[in-house]
């Protein structure tokens, strides 16, 4: 993984600040029903579709959404039949947006404001979502290991991972890191295989649907 020049002690705090200050802007950016967003950012739609397909393949699964943000994916997976949905995000304004978006599913939804690494999560989950999360993690292995510990036998993790591209990479660097003071990270296929393998997952399925990232489904036997 490309991990240059980031102080892992301050990185999570900078990410949290960004998602606290810009919650509404991010929520708007993820509106993938709009024609323009679909055209310019087809990856958003693809990752959501994989999350929904995966949830729909289980019967009333327990779903954990790590970095659930404003609950946009949560809404779709609840509609697709999630039996119980737990969303965790360390940005309170993001969780506030999720709370109003998911109000109609309140009887099977729990939202937690906390860092995933320290959140009091108990039990096992059939599907763990990590969509748009790993972009911001200086120590991603700690996350994949905790995901494995929380994954039920027969369950899986669905995640999205940016990779460096000369088309989008420099723009993202300038926008997030230089202007926004928010660290971002990229991944290679090999790094993903190693990370999920070392965390205990038995099978790692990696798709590369576009130029700018990977979609991963990692299974626990
Ligand atoms: C780009 S948003 C993605 C939101 C949502 N998954 C989606 O696809 O619509 C990333 C989210 O991850 C959250 N996040 C980043 N690091 C986190 C951590 N260590 N613990 C909990 N949430 C985290 C941020 O606050 C932010 O809301």
pLDDT in tens, 55-104: 999 999 999 999 999 999 999 999 999 999 999 999 999 999 999 999 99
Mutation choice for ligand 1 from 66, 102, 133, CB with most ligand atoms inside 8 A: 133
- Alpha carbon of 197 to ligand 1 centroid (Å): 23
For the entire predicted model, the pTM comes to 0.93
Which has more confidence, 33 or 199? 199
Average pLDDT over residues 154-180: 89
Kindly report, residue by residue over 107-155, the tens digit of the pLDDT.
999 999 999 999 999 999 999 999 999 999 999 999 999 999 999 999 9
Atom of ligand 1 nearest to the CA of 94: 27
Which H or E run includes 19? Answer: helix 11-21
What is the residue whose two structure tokens read 């290679």? 188
Q: Which residues line ligand 1 (CB under 6 A)?
A: 12, 15, 19, 26, 30, 67-69, 72-73, 88-91, 94, 115-116, 131-133, 136
Query: What tokens does 38 get?
Result: 């679909």
Q: How far does the centroid of ligand 1 lie from the alpha carbon of residue 208, in Å?
A: 22
Which is more confident, 7 or 90? 90
pLDDT of residue 33: 65
Mutate to test the pocket of ligand 1, among 74, 77, 136 (most ligand atoms within 8 A of CB): 136
Strands (E), the chain: 62-66, 84-89, 109-113, 125-130, 151-162, 203-207, 213-219
| Ligand 1 atom index nearest CA of 30 | 9
Cα–Cα distance measured from residue 215 to residue 65, given in angstroms and rounded to the nearest whole number: 15
């Amino acid at each position: 993984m490309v991990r240059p020049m980031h102080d892992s002690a301050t990185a999570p705090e900078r990410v949290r600040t960004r998602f606290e200050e810009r919650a509404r802007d991010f929520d708007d950016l993820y509106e993938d029903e709009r024609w323009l967003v679909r055209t310019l950012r087809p990856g958003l739609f693809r990752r959501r579709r994989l999350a929904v397909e995966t949830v729909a393949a289980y019967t009333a699964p327990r779903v954990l959404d790590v970095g659930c943000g404003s609950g946009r994916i949560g809404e779709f997976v609840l509609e697709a039949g999630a039996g119980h949905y737990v969303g965790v995000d360390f940005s309170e304004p993001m969780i506030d947006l999720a709370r109003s978006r998911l109000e109609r599913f309140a009887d099977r939804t729990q939202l937690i404001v906390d860092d995933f690494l320290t959140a009091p999560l108990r039990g096992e989950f059939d599907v763990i979502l990590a969509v748009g999360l790993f972009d911001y993690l200086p120590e991603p292995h700690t996350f994949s290991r905790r995901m494995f510990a929380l994954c039920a036998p027969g369950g899986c993790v669905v995640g999205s991972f940016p990779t460096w591209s000369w088309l989008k990479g420099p723009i993202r660097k300038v926008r997030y890191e230089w202007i926004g003071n928010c660290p971002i990270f990229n991944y290679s296929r090999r790094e993903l295989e190693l990370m999920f393998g070392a965390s205990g997952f038995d099978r790692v399925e990696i798709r590369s649907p576009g130029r700018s990232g990977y979609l991963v489904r990692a299974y626990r036997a």
